[in-house]
Structure 1
Amino acid sequence: MPTILITGANRGIGLELVRQYAADGWHVLACCRSPENAHDLNKLAQHSNGQITLHLLDVTQAAQRAALVAQLKGQAIDILFNSAGVSGSWSSQGFGQCQEKEWLDVLHINVVTPMLMMQDFAANVALSERKIIANMSSKMGSITDNTSGGSYLYRSSKAALNMVNKSAAHDLARKGIAVVALHPGWVRTDMGGPNGELSVEESVAALKHNLANVTFADSGRLIDIDGSTIPW
């Protein structure tokens, strides 16, 4: 069966990715900071007949990443899905409100750790049949789409992730790996808020559809929830 590794798998879009991929018969490597406290994720795993395996992974911790690399050595991973991310406080992202430490924390989690995950697990992805790395981005990282200003922390982190994604697409081409950035839509989650246009179920169904249609020719794209390309 195909295998997917998902970070941030304990809630929101990450948890629903686990649910839907397992339902489709995938082996899901579900990674989160506190597996023992991820009650919904544990329930899914307990009823998955071994299809879902839980793994301790705070993506910011080098020792935990190294331990998982060692544990999964030689394991083919068809899709590496870097879903873990943060927005930062929306109330401190206007002009004149931005604070250095919070901004650096957002950049660390949203930009640096996806790159480190790609470096750590590219060899596993190269062993697989599908050879896809998916980075959860956002239309809010598009400079062209920015018509309102503000949201400096989140916008800048996703714009930077888009550049990391594009560079990795070039660098991993020799391994036959397609690297894509995905916009999940405006989703009703803790991050997206209660007014989002999509449920997590609808968003994940669309993300899965887009990933199912990804080919090597798509590598480097920023893909909207409807499958179209979002301009940089």
Structure 2
Amino acid sequence: MNVVITGANRGIGLELVRQCRSRGDVVHAGVRAPVHAAELTGLIRGAGGRLHVHTLDVADPASVRAFAMGLPGPVHLLINNAGVRSRPDELSDLDGDDLTRTFQVNAVAALRVTVALLPQLRAAGGAKVANLSSNLGSIADNSWGGAYGYRMSKAALNMATRSLGHDLKEDGILAFALSPGWVQTDMGGSEAPTAVDTSVAGLLAVLSRLRPEDSGGFFDFEGKCIPW
């Protein structure tokens, strides 16, 4: 299976690369600056040609176009993992430029990459698109406020995923919003309850089980449906 993973240089993205490569997938990993992604590029050794690292800035339309043009098809699984969160991000700390950047990376960019790779996804005949969202993007689950840019961008990503589920149905492409949980990464912090390898193993297992009737849905890494 050919897999594309964005934001693959650290955290969840890097672990996705590890686990997909280990199970035998051919992985195309996108990062803004491969020269600064030593841990990722180090995985190429011993990958038997199953790992390819590409320059990809998901917030730059030209970079996305160049990435898509240079990527061989088909693509069976696209994981839009690239994301940012600025802190502090409470009401008193709002910065309009930062909000816009967060929206661009977390929501608009995932849609941009998906559209750019539609020819490769269509060529797979039954591809899946996984947009890495968050429980913080659930409006129903917002019980304490704050996290404005991150919450808003992930809610927007969820809506985009819902629409993709409808619009890509005729192409046989399934789309899902997936929450990895609160994970022990640079973004999640050391106090997070879920180890990154546990989260990623769960995400991949859930993706293998999701079916056409689930397309456009929002699920956590254990397969539970998350309220919008």
User: Does residue 105 in structure 1 map to residue 101 in structure 2?
Assistant: yes
* Partner residue in 2 for 1:171: 167
Q: TM-score when scaled to structure 1?
A: 0.96
Residue 223 (structure 2) aligned to one of 201, 222, 227: 227
| Gap regions ≥5 residues in structure 2 | none
* Partner residue in 1 for 2:85: 87
* Partner residue in 1 for 2:9: 10
Deviations 1:42-70 (A, max 9, x none): 11112201100111101112222111221
Aligned-partner SS, 1:15: helix
How far apart in 1 are the matches of 2:140 and 2:85?
Answer: 20
> 1:1-232, aligned counterparts within 5 Å?
2-73=1-72, 75-89=73-87, 91=88, 93-232=89-228
Aligned-partner SS, 1:31: strand
Aligned-CA RMSD value: 1.0
**Would the aligned equivalents of 2:107 and 2:157 in 1 still touch at CA under 8 Å?**
yes
Percent identity, aligned pairs only, is: 39
Runs of 4+ in 1 over 4 A off after TM superposition: none
**Would the aligned equivalents of 1:184 and 1:203 in 2 still touch at CA under 8 Å?**
yes
Q: How many residues are matched?
A: 228
| Gap regions ≥5 residues in structure 1 | none
Q: In the alignment, residue 98 of structure 1 is paired with which amino acid? A: L
Aligned-partner SS, 1:180: strand
How far apart in 1 are the matches of 2:213 and 2:122?
Answer: 16
Aligned-partner SS, 1:127: helix
**Would the aligned equivalents of 2:200 and 2:221 in 1 still touch at CA under 8 Å?**
no
Deviation at 1:129, TM superposition (A): 4.3
Q: TM-score when scaled to structure 2?
A: 0.97
Deviations 1:82-123 (A, max 9, x none): 00000122x1x2223211011111001001100101110122
Aligned-partner SS, 2:105: helix
Deviation at 1:174, TM superposition (A): 1.2
